Amino acid sequence: MCETHSLTASKGHRVCSGGMRVSSSWRWQLSQAMRLVLRWCRRQRGGGASDRLWELWTYSKVLLKSLYFNSLSNSDTLLDCAFEPVYWTVDNVTRWFGVVFVCLVTLLTSSVVVIVYLFVLPTILSTYPYYWILWHLCCGHWLLIMVVFHYYKATTTSAGHPPKDKVNFPSVSVCKKCVSPKPPRTHHCSVCSVCVLKMDHHCPWLNNCVGHFNHRYFFSFCVYMTLGCVYCSVSSRDLFLDAYSSVEGYYQTAPPDFTPRESTAHKSIIFLWVLTSSVAVALGGLTLWHAMLISRGETSVERHINRKEAKRLKEKGKVFRNPHHHGRMNNWRLLLGVQRTSHWVTRVLMPSTHPPSGDGIMWDYTFTRRDPMAI
């Protein structure tokens, strides 16, 4: 070993008898190397205040990436973060307007019923044959009962949610909002802030999600409301034409002499016919769309997912088969809860509170695969 002299170098070195320098710290050597690298970089860029700005910019980029970057980050994640305030506003407005929409449906439906009882039914009772009177009384009140019953049940029945205290049910993913397992066909509703079993969509006109336990009520309401609007529109057609001609006479030089009741009746009939005809067209299109989805064994959410999956598999030379499609008639039986032939009358044509098939967690995936390339 070398003998150490009492003189110590100012840079952290000790002078040995053999003229060799021994490093006192590896950190000091690393700092010297970093200084040399920085000096070389300054000479390459010319030096000055721009060097300091460049270092701050580089450090800021590294710091920013360290806050949000991971292996799962992509453009969709960044867009979701950027539009999160917009999503929050839409969800809260939809939740608040749901109460307004329910009140609006109740008000408009009640107004139609009042107009029919005050102006349409008296005309039918006084001018139609007895068999047509009987048909109108039976058909009109049957449609009214079915509309009110299914709307009430669709609004007040919970769509169904995954159990919180049960952990042994099958799950296909974990909800990033609830941070809990999601069973098959379950999706998160951003308006209700909860996962919904077999979610179809959030309906603001119901102020409720449409899912496993109230899907039948929602679709039945759409069907019977459409039929009810068609019935009112057809039944009041002649009255509408007469009322429209009478209203046009209000603007003549010598307007006809109508009593206040007659003027109110004319305007009410026009309001009734325009409202029911418009709803019949709009709601009829929505009903046909959902009927097509039910025939395919899909929900509105699954429709978009299955289309993307079918496109992806088509590029690989494969065919996508929906595992929840059991045939058109079987799909309708499962939705409506029809198990016997008599159920088409007692459970479909009459008000019924029977639960749907299954619990919304376990699903039967068995189906016939005729195409060997299908998955």
- Three-state secondary structure readout of the chain: CCCEEEEECCCCEEEECCCCEEECCHHHHHHHHHHHHHHHHHHHHCCCHHHHHHHHHHHHHHHHHHHHCCCCCCHHHHHHHHCHHHHHHHHHHHHHHHHHHHHHHHHHHHHHHHHHHHHHHHHHHHHCCHHHHHHHHHHHHHHHHHHHHHHHHHHHCCCCCCCCCCCCCCCCEECCCCCCEECCCCEEECCCCEEECCCCEEECCCCEEECCCCHHHHHHHHHHHHHHHHHHHHHCHHHHHHHHHHHHHHHCCCCCCCCHHHHHHHHHHHHHHHHHHHHHHHHHHHHHHHHHHHHHCCCHHHHHHHHHHHHHHHHCCCECCCCCCCCHHHHHHHHHCCCCCCHHHHHHCCCCCCCCCCCCCCCCCCCCCCCCCEC
Are 195 and 178 spatial neighbours (Cβ–Cβ below 8 Å)?
yes
pLDDT at res. 57: 77
Residues 143-167 have pLDDT tens digits of: 999 999 999 999 999 999 988 876 6
Q: Work out the average pLDDT over 350-366.
A: 85
Residues 169-205 have pLDDT tens digits of: 777 788 888 888 888 899 999 888 899 999 999 999 9
Asked if pLDDT for residue 34 goes beyond 80, the answer is: no
Q: Mean pLDDT of all residues in the chain?
A: 81
pLDDT at res. 102: 94
Asked if pLDDT for residue 58 goes beyond 90, the answer is: no
pLDDT at res. 375: 41
pLDDT at res. 78: 65
pLDDT at res. 163: 85
pLDDT at res. 175: 84
Residue 203 annotated in active site: yes
pLDDT at res. 347: 95
Asked if pLDDT for residue 255 goes beyond 60, the answer is: yes
* Full-model pTM: 0.74
Asked if pLDDT for residue 39 goes beyond 70, the answer is: no
The CA distance from 8 to 288, in Å, is: 93
Q: Work out the average pLDDT over 218-241.
A: 95
pLDDT at res. 174: 84
Residues 318-347 have pLDDT tens digits of: 888 888 899 899 999 999 999 999 999 999
pLDDT at res. 273: 96
Q: Is the dihedral of CA 165, 168, 171, 175 positive or negative?
A: positive
Percent above pLDDT 90 for the chain: 47
**Whose CA is closest to 216, among 163, 166, 157, 259?**
157
Residues 259-306 have pLDDT tens digits of: 888 888 889 999 999 999 999 999 999 999 999 999 999 999 999 899
Both tokens of 166, joined, read 């049960």
Going by pLDDT thresholds of 50, 70 and 90, the confidence category of residue 18 is: very low
Q: Work out the average pLDDT over 358-372.
A: 64
pLDDT at res. 153: 97
Please tell me which residue in 189, 195, 203, 222 is annotated as part of the active site.
203
